[in-house]
Amino acid sequence: MSKIIGIDIGGTNFRIGLTDGNGNVSDFRKQPVKTILKSDDVLSDIADFIEGYADGRKFDALAVGFPATLNRERSKVLQAPNLKFMENLPVVEYLRGRLNVPVFAERDVVFTLRYDMRKYDVPPEGMTCGIYFGTGVGNAIMIDGKPLTGRNGTAGELGHIPVEGSEEICGCGLKGCIENLAGGKYLARLQKNYYPDTHIADIFMKHSNDEAVREFIRHMAVCAATEVNILDPDYLIIGGGVANMKGFPKDLLHDCIIERVRRPYPAENLRVIYAEDEPEKSIAGAGYYACDRMLGSS
């Protein structure tokens, strides 16, 4: 049975664990990403941490998910809007040279969607879209079990569709990206400006009926409805830390999505799954992904 180190480098947290490719995860750890990526040499920081984590243990492969765009060949990180020093990084070549094992790099959200499709019995045939509202807006699109990459490798950047009238500067360098209005970074700013006496973890419990919060939900719905209207997927999976906060108004989000989706179809038979936010899911998904790549099926 394969021993795979899976890593999910998020915009906020760094997750790592040992997985067997069958969904089992051991020695799982999670800590703030800033405690690991401490210098302007990101690849060295990652390799140092992996070597310390492995502590001499043998493993068969490494699968690393990045909150970033990657090239089509999945060998290089192109740009990460929510993390510094992640531009044009030859991750596969560097980590393979340091660790002497096969290395597979992918967008972190692909690992998460791989896991959710298995958990919720979503068949690989057809098209499944996963939208994950966390620090930003993560998005992956699976077609017949394989992630859509696009000509340059950068397909699925749903968080960077432009919003007319928004002057917010995104971490990607563009102005008006919707993840600046529908992601966790904006929610934190909303809490600070409108609800300074409410802990951010309680914002939906206490303020879901307030217009500022409802506008935030509407921006989340625009992300989902845009993708549904363009792709007409077989399944839409919605997850992430924001969508799993206490008191999150799923009914309101669903109504806002349906209100914006074209009729009669796909609105009338849109299948939406709300995925739980399990801390180890992306690590298990990394194992699935690495095994598929080693078997040549992805």
Judge if pTM exceeds 0.85: yes
Interval 17-66: pLDDT, tens: 999 988 999 999 999 999 999 898 999 999 999 999 999 999 999 999 99
Edge-to-edge, what's the strand order for the sheet holding 4-9? 25-32, 13-19, 4-9, 61-66, 103-107
Is residue 113 domain-resident? no
Alpha-carbon radius of gyration of the chain: 19
Q: Are 110 and 289 in contact (CB under 8 A)?
A: yes
Interval 263-274: pLDDT, tens: 999 999 999 999
Interval 140-160: pLDDT, tens: 999 999 999 999 999 999 999
CB count, 10 Å around CB of 202?
Answer: 14
Residue 130's pLDDT is what? 98
Model confidence at 298: pLDDT above 60: no
Is residue 64 domain-resident? yes
Q: Are 275 and 116 in contact (CB under 8 A)?
A: yes
Model confidence at 11: pLDDT above 90: no
Interval 168-221: pLDDT, tens: 899 888 999 999 999 999 999 999 999 999 999 999 999 999 999 999 999 999
Distance CA 135, CA 155 (A): 19
Does residue 213 share a domain with residue 134? Answer: yes
- Mean pLDDT for 232-246 is 97
Q: How many domains does the chain have?
A: 2
- Mean pLDDT for 264-288 is 96
Q: For residue 17, give the CATH number of its domain.
A: 3.30.420.40
Residue 1's pLDDT is what? 65
Distance CA 17, CA 30 (A): 9
Residue of higher predicted confidence among 166 and 94: 94
Q: What domain range includes position 233? A: 121-274
Is residue 115 domain-resident? no
Is residue 158 domain-resident? yes
DSSP 8-state symbol, 77? E
